[in-house]
Structure formats: C-alpha cells, structure tokens
Structure 1
C-alpha cells in the first residue's frame, strides 16, 4: 500500500518541477535598455542618466550622465554589471573597428570589461568615444589657452 503513494508523490514532484522550470524559462528574458537603466539606478542612485547608447548585440550600454561623467553596463545573465568610469581610467582605440562603427575599449581599473564594442552607426560610435575620452565634459577643469 505504501508503494502507490510513493510513486504518486514522485510523479507529482516531477510534474511540479517541469512546470516551475517552464515558468522560469519563460520569465527569463534578454537584457534590454529598460532593465539596464533600472540596474544602473540601483547601483548609482545619485546619478542621473542623460543619454544611453546600446551596442549592436545589446549586451553592453554606455551612458552619459548629467554631470558629464560616463557609465558602462555589461549584460551578465538577467542583470548588468554597472561601472562608473573615472576620468583617465579608460582608453579607446578606433583602429580595430570595422567600418567605423565600433570601438576597442580598455578599462584600466576593470580589465575584464575590455573588448571591441560595435554600434549601430559610426555617429553613435563617435559620440560614445567622445564621452569616453572626456572631451565632451561641460565641467572640464582645462583652462582656456589665450589666442595669440
């Protein structure tokens, strides 16, 4: 009499496991810009995002912040690794980019994020490179050199 109860319990557990796995697979989604913004906001709540550009595969996002700083997010499963880039801690090489739509980026303080990031257009790649090179910083400490 015990064996039928054990077999029924095993079958119910198997059905429950299959249903929960199917539900988890359905809920698992690809990273997107909305999720990236939410994760960046949780990591850096005091920073306001002004502009965001995704790579072609949408596995990485570069953000321009309200005060001229730059942030970076790389997809890691269902969440993002969020990084606030300090001035002088990144280098950009455009010679490895195909057709001007990509940037080879080296993060001095987080080298595991290094890579070639491709964008939808050369204009977006150029804009992100300006952000990264800190040449689009409205609060730059550089002094104006007098003409003459």
Structure 2
C-alpha cells in the first residue's frame, strides 16, 4: 500500500514540475526583453565577439536595439521560442519617424521580414535608436573628449 502512495506522490511532483516549467516558458515569451540581462546573454550567445555599449527596448519589450562598438548596431526580436539576433551595418537600414513621434518605421534591407513600426517609451529613445541605426551616433561622453590629434599626412 505504501508503494502506491509514494508512486502517486512522485507522479504529482513530476506533473507539478512539468506545469511549472511550461508556465515559466510561457511567461518568458510574454515578457520579452524586459530583463536586460537576458538580452545581453542572448545577443552575446549569437555574436560573442561584438562588444555591447548600450541597449534600448521597445515599449512592449518584444524588440531590443543594441548599440555596438565601431559604429554598428544590433537588433533582437523575441520570436516566442527563440530570439532572432542580427548585426546591422550602417547604411543597410532605412528609418523614418512614426506618426506618434515615439516610434520608428524601419526597413531592414538585409532582413526585410523584420520590417515594421517600433514604438518606444519616449521620443528621445526613438531618436537615439535612429541615430544608432543610421551610424551617426555621438554620445555625450564622446563630446567631452578633447579632439584627437590628426596624424601628419604621408609626404612622398
């Protein structure tokens, strides 16, 4: 009799673990990239040699734009079961402000299936991301640096 009781308890524990795992996976899909740590881990898994300088999530948390070193940007989208990560080269993206002022209408020339309207929490965030994508971003910290000396031209 005790064997049957222990078998039922074990089956219930396994069932509860399965249900908890499924609910956690569903919450992860619904949450998107609200956790910036998850976004950093996923992007570094896809592109381990790219240095991340800054992240900016859309208002719904489904998409994260990544500012990378050497004037490049990245793009991450939650695709429910996986994350789609891309490195974007300057000049390979078309960006227009949306009608709301807080969003961007983006055409990815190399990844057209990701084209769309991306809404941010503020117009400032949208403007900053547009500069990353267009390759024109100059951070406030960069403006404070003294100008570098230009090397002398090669004389022949």
The alignment's TM-score, normalised by the length of structure 2, stands at 0.72
Indicate the residue corresponding to 2:150 in structure 1: none
Q: Which of structure 1's runs of 4+ aligned residues deviate more than 3 A?
A: 11-18
Distance, in Å, in 2 between the alignment partners of 1:46 and 1:127 is 24
1:133: how far off?
1.2
Indicate the residue corresponding to 1:143 in structure 2: none
Structure 1 gaps, min length 5: 139-148
Contact 1:36/1:80 (CA < 8 Å) preserved in 2? no
Distance, in Å, in 2 between the alignment partners of 1:42 and 1:84 is 13
The equivalent position to 2:93 in structure 1, one of 77, 90, 94, is 90
Contact 1:107/1:114 (CA < 8 Å) preserved in 2? yes
Q: Within 5 A, what are the aligned runs for 1:55-70? A: 55-70=58-73
Q: Within 5 A, what are the aligned runs for 1:16-31? A: 18-28=15-25, 29=28, 30-31=31-32
Identify which range, 55-64 or 28-37, moves more after superposition.
Answer: 28-37
1:106: how far off?
0.6
Distance, in Å, in 2 between the alignment partners of 1:104 and 1:21 is 41
Q: Within 5 A, what are the aligned runs for 1:118-133? A: 118-133=119-134
Indicate the residue corresponding to 1:99 in structure 2: 100
Indicate the residue corresponding to 1:114 in structure 2: 115
The alignment's TM-score, normalised by the length of structure 1, stands at 0.75
Q: How many residues were matched structurally?
A: 129
RMSD in angstroms over aligned alpha carbons? Answer: 2.5
Contact 1:92/1:104 (CA < 8 Å) preserved in 2? yes
